[in-house]
Structure formats: structure tokens, C-alpha cells
Amino acid sequence: MPRTRRRLTPYLLLLPGTAWLVLFFAVPMGYMLVMSLQQGSLSEGYHLTWNWGIYPDIAVKYGNLFLRSVSFALATTVLTLAIGYPMAYTIAFYGGRLKNALLLVVIMPFFVSFVIRTLNWRMVLSDNGLVFGTLKDAGLLDQSFRFLATPASVIFGLTYNFLPFMVLPLFVALEKIDRRMIEAAADLYASRAQAFWRITFQLSLPGVVAGSLLTFIPAVGDFINADIIGARSPDVAMIGNVIQRLFLNSNDFPAAAALGFVLVAGTMLLVGVYTRIVGTDRLTS
């Protein structure tokens, strides 16, 4: 009996998480797949007709939006890594007694609604707002300059909103590094750049991988930033905006479900390829 319990214990511990994933991920994914294969209207009702042709149709019609969403998410991931790594490094290695206070500053934006924060940035970055209005009045920018409703503005909003998702995993990984290994590298005549690249960065890769996933996955499906900072411009619309409008405005549930299913499945595929390339051990090292 004790041996049997030891064998069953890991599976019993996995049971709550597995049940959660099945109930709130696998079941909704299956429901979206079934809904996407239906035909009909909201007034007449939808009926399952196994309409697989909807997937080639949405690939042709919305393929550019999928590519735009992935490119925006990739740019956001790179920018958050470039900004977040120095932040996490400074807090982990030089924060001292202020570590907790600095981490609080990082997560403090989470105390305010995602939508409210994005709306505030729209007011700040508007054509005649605090930033660009001042620069225009000073003659440093042309009066026709516009930042809102551009790809750069949407990527800026995504980077700001998802930066903590990158900083926190990086901090945890950097905090775990044994400082004596860096000292040993210096004793072996490694330069500071070599010690950083061969020791610090390599040992922080679990944080890089985890932060990249935590940033890319929500960014690729985001619709708030493109809707608010992008000013609903079709030139910066992401696939999340289309799904929202198809569900809420057009009531085209099959097309919206098909787009949602492709988005989630495609994101899972990209994440699987990424983790396969970098190695899943990077997540647990």
C-alpha cells in the first residue's frame, strides 16, 4: 500500500490542474470547433453542417491580420525583453534593501484597470496631448505628425501593458544565480562582458523563455490596445479586434469561433516550436 500511494501521489497532485485545463480549455476549444462548423443566423439558429470550408475562407480573408498580430506580438516580446532585462538585472543584483519596493513599482500598474491605463496613454499620446502637443508647440515636431493609430503606437501600448510579465520571471531567474560563479569567471580572467554572456545570461535563460511566453501569448490575441490606442484604424487592427466584432456586432458566431480556434491552435503551435527549439529544460532549470 505505501508503494502504491507513492506511485499515485504525483497523479493525484496533477488531478486538480488537469481538471481545470479540461474544463476551461479543452471543452471551450471543442465547443469553438463545433460552432465554427455550423451554418445559419442568429434569428433562425445555427445548425451543424460540418462546414470545413470556412477555414480556407478565413485564411484568405484574414491571413494578413494573423500575420500582423504575430508580428506585433513578436515586436512586443523583443522590446519587453530589451527593456525588462536591464530592469530585472538591476533589481536582482543592485536592489539591496529596495528590492521589494522596486518590484512593487513594477507590478503597481496592475492595481489599475487594463482599460483605464490604456485610455490614459491615449490621452497622453494624442496629437495635441501632453507629449506631442508640447513638442509641436515648441516647433520640434511638424503639426501634421501623428502617433496614434499607427503600428508603433499599438506596439508601444502592448509593450507597456505586458512589460511586468517579462520583468518578474527574469528577476526570479537572476535572483537564483550564485554570485560565486561570476566571481570564479573573473578569477579565470573572463572580462565582464564574457562573464555576463557565459554565466549570467545563460543561467537566466529560464526567465527569458518564461517571460517571452507570458508576453507573446496574451499580446498576440490582444484587442484593447489596437482598439483604443490604435483608434480602431483598419491599418492597425489585430485578429482579436475582428473576433470581437464578429461575436458582438455582426453575430457571425461560426466565423468568430473559427478565427478564435485558429488563433489559439496557431499560438499553441508556435509556442510548441519555440519550446522545442530552446528546450523545455529552459523552463525548469
* pLDDT tens for each residue of 197-241: 988 999 999 999 999 999 999 999 999 999 999 888 888 999 999
- What residue has cell string 522596486? 102
- The reported pLDDT for the residue numbered 211 is 94
pLDDT classification of 96: cutoffs 50, 70, 90: confident
Distance from CA of residue 38 to its chain's centroid? 30
- The reported pLDDT for the residue numbered 280 is 59
Are 173 and 211 contacting, i.e. CB atoms less than 8 angstroms apart?
no
Distance CA 265, CA 30 (A): 11
Distance from CA of residue 96 to its chain's centroid? 30
Nearest to 118 by CA among 74, 154, 75: 154
Global pTM reads 0.89
Torsion of the alpha carbons at 86, 91, 95 and 97, rounded to the nearest 10: 170
Average pLDDT over residues 107-115: 90
Average pLDDT over residues 263-284: 80
Flag the least confident range among 2-11, 126-135, 227-236, 242-251: 2-11
- The reported pLDDT for the residue numbered 284 is 56
Close Cβ partners of 68 (under 8 Å, ≥ 6 residues apart)? 236, 237, 238, 239
State whether residue 204 is helix, strand or coil: coil
How wide is the angle at C-alpha 68 spanned by C-alphas 239 and 279, nearest 5°? 95
Q: Which domains, ranges and CATH numbers included, belong to the chain?
A: 71-283 (1.10.3720.10)
